[in-house]
Structure 1
Amino acid sequence: MIATKPTYPSLQSPYSLSAQAIADYQQNGHVLLDQLASAEEVAAYRTAINVAVDRDNTETRPLAERDTYGKAFLQIFNLWERDPAVRQFTLAKRFADVAAQLMGCERVRIYHDQALYKEPGGGRTPWHQDQYYWPLDTSQTITLWMPLVDTTADMGIMQFASGSQAEGYVDKLGISDASQAYLESYVRDNGFPISSAPAMRAGDATFHSGWTLHMAPANQSQTMREVMTVIYFADGTRATEPDNDGRRADLARWMPGVRPGELVDSSLNPVV
């Protein structure tokens, strides 16, 4: 008997994105969308994503032996390069269309995907800005953050400093105890409202700007917080000269062959 390969939902159909959601994103730098993927769609992909995470995860140390960054989550990058099922999820037209509409651009490219699994007992994710790591000459960057399981506040749902994206490049520290201390004070001193969903269903999603300050509390539950993320940027973006080690590493890894000043259009950055 010939085994058949599993099939997965196409994720090509459009999502009904309201004008209010776009306005909220533009004002606050983040937005929560209900059921960007249905429970059935997420369930179909979750097994494949978990298999890929288990295969590619290299972190075997107990939590107690890790630093703050290591305790925050298991982080596995660009699963779409190596797994055809995850490729279908990451390159989903539905998700990309929403990203483009929120940012107000015609087309978007992939920067990279990453699984962010916060283990039971895993520590907080310190305040930070994602674009600290991205040598991209644009403010039109956005991250999709989707739980693959129903997620409650005690599992570590993201918290956003609303409006902070308007300040641009603030965090020169990267994810660390230092960024937590500095940016916690920065958020408080500037009076940014902190927003977080009390719970998210599998398939709900947040989108946030690359400059939006955000963090996630520790996972105080006994359940793994399984989250898949996809990062997009506007087509036509050029690479910048890296100004920190994270950006130097990202330029080499996620934009192979691209030099500062050139269009970011490598094989790892397809238009979606």
Structure 2
Amino acid sequence: MREPGAVREVTADEVAQFRACGWALLRDFVAAEHLPPIAAEVRALIGEQAETAKETTGAFRRIWRTYDEPSYRSAPLWGFATSPSVGRAGSALLGGAPVRFLRDEVYVKMPTAGGEGRPTPWHQDFPYGNRDRSEQVNLWIALEDIPVDGGALRYLSGSHRRGALGRALDAPERDLLAQYPDLVEEFPVSPTTEIRRGDVLAHHGLTVHGAPANTTASPRWAYTVVLFHADSRYTGVPWPRRLAGHMGGIAVNEPFDHPLTPVVWPPDRRDARSAPPLTEGTP
């Protein structure tokens, strides 16, 4: 089943793999005819060669070029990221939990020939959050075909069962494999495979993941939508600086009831609020 402009339902086998391994490859998740509008919106914001990416430190600029929350400036991307079918898929992968939209981001890994596109450190996503539970799913959408040497995500299968292992992205030389060398012995690395445009790599917020260098001649284009358990409570950890001016009013130990974090599934809890205002200063 596919809604116009959205995505297909996940299968029982895909859910089973996600629950067991902490990740799943969802082939042909977004129909080919729906990819060009999404890719066009992304490129309109970040540029054809990601030249208008956000500023990053030197170490991270050599890994990727990014654009935070592109849906804040694009009604079509907001409509896609908060669509019922995307919410339904995220909920299914999280065992049927109600889900909210958290954020989206563009990740462009440039070719290593230009001095960029280096490996992404092994890390988890949840330790950077501000929520009281770890049920979170990242839907990493390939906007173009990514060959085996193009730098697509890889995972330590089952590593979500180890719990939160700490922050590791801030020091690439001290990623989670450097801090916990036994991880790779306990949790096998996912296979290297070609990712086709419209495919999605979905992973849990606690799954250890990284990406090899992009040794091809072309940039690796990916667009990520992040959903989280709708009943999560705010822990009081400050919002990232880029969102501090937009996410006020959420009280500690209360749910994330805010226009920027709408409930997107199930239907009886779905938040019908429209796209947020695209204000000056929004990244």
TM-score band, normalised by the shorter chain?
0.7 to 0.9
Q: Which of 84, 95, 105 does residue 104 from structure 1 map onto?
A: 95
Q: In structure 1, what is the equivalent of residue 5 of structure 2?
A: 11
> In structure 1, what is the Cα distance between the partners aligned to 2:209 and 2:180?
10
> In structure 1, what is the Cα distance between the partners aligned to 2:99 and 2:135?
9
> In structure 2, what is the Cα distance between the partners aligned to 1:260 and 1:60?
30
Give yes or no for contact 2:234–2:256 (8 Å, CA) kept in 1. yes
> In structure 2, what is the Cα distance between the partners aligned to 1:162 and 1:254?
36
Q: Which of 181, 190, 193 does residue 188 from structure 2 map onto?
A: 193
Q: In structure 2, what is the equivalent of residue 5 of structure 1?
A: none
AA aligned to 2:232 is: T
- Secondary structure class of the residue paired with 1:144: strand
Within a 5 Å distance, the mapping from 1:48-87 to structure 2 comes to 48-54=41-47, 57-59=52-54, 67-87=58-78
Shift of the 59–49 alpha-carbon distance from structure 1 to 2, 3 Å rule, reads closer
Q: In structure 1, what is the equivalent of residue 85 of structure 2?
A: 94
Give yes or no for contact 2:121–2:168 (8 Å, CA) kept in 1. no
> In structure 1, what is the Cα distance between the partners aligned to 2:247 and 2:132?
13
Give yes or no for contact 2:136–2:205 (8 Å, CA) kept in 1. yes
Shift of the 239–151 alpha-carbon distance from structure 1 to 2, 3 Å rule, reads same
AA aligned to 1:209 is: H
> In structure 1, what is the Cα distance between the partners aligned to 2:229 and 2:246?
15
AA aligned to 1:50 is: R
Q: In structure 2, what is the equivalent of residue 179 of structure 1?
A: 175
Give yes or no for contact 2:121–2:169 (8 Å, CA) kept in 1. no
Give yes or no for contact 2:24–2:202 (8 Å, CA) kept in 1. yes
- Secondary structure class of the residue paired with 1:152: coil
Within a 5 Å distance, the mapping from 1:80-229 to structure 2 comes to 80-121=71-112, 122-175=117-170, 176-179=172-175, 182-183=178-179, 185-188=181-184, 190-229=185-224
Of all paired residues, the percent bearing the same amino acid is: 26
1:10 is displaced (CA, Å) by: 3.5
- Secondary structure class of the residue paired with 1:199: coil
> In structure 1, what is the Cα distance between the partners aligned to 2:174 and 2:194?
28
1:251 is displaced (CA, Å) by: 7.5
Q: Does 1:33 align with 2:26?
A: yes
> In structure 2, what is the Cα distance between the partners aligned to 1:254 and 1:161?
35
Between the two proteins, the alignment pairs up a number of residues equal to 255
TM-score, normalised relative to structure 1: 0.85
Q: Structure 1: state its 5+ residue gaps.
A: 1-8
Shift of the 254–96 alpha-carbon distance from structure 1 to 2, 3 Å rule, reads farther
Shift of the 181–33 alpha-carbon distance from structure 1 to 2, 3 Å rule, reads closer
Give yes or no for contact 1:148–1:228 (8 Å, CA) kept in 2. yes
Shift of the 181–164 alpha-carbon distance from structure 1 to 2, 3 Å rule, reads closer
- Secondary structure class of the residue paired with 1:105: coil
Give yes or no for contact 2:22–2:159 (8 Å, CA) kept in 1. yes
Q: Structure 2: state its 5+ residue gaps.
A: 265-283
